Amino acid sequence: MTNPTPTVTLLTRAGCGMCTIALTQLQTICGDFGLPVHTVDVDEAAVTDPALRAEYGDRLPVVLLDGREHSYFDVDEPRLRADLSRFAGRDGK
């Protein structure tokens, strides 16, 4: 049985230095698992989804794993690697 492929999304906004650092970290981590990193600018998304910015806009960056909040401000690398390893059916790196 194959495990489903997880989706990693970074909620961000233009000009956010911490978001840039988080994106670089996520690209490395997700690259190790062969996964892309999706990004969503909460200010741009607010046009059609104002609740997204209302919920997350004051504590960016936010990492979502399969649409659920995984970490914010800092990427929790050990936890994310462990969770992605479970999806991949292998031990963490």
> Who's near 51: CB < 8 A, 6+ residues apart?
none
pTM attached to this predicted model: 0.90
Residue whose C-alpha is closest to residue 46's, from 86, 92, 12, 93: 12
End-to-end CA distance of the chain: 22
Quickly state the pLDDT bin for 93 (edges 50, 70, 90).
very low
Flag whether pLDDT at 18 surpasses 80.
yes
Quickly state the pLDDT bin for 2 (edges 50, 70, 90).
low
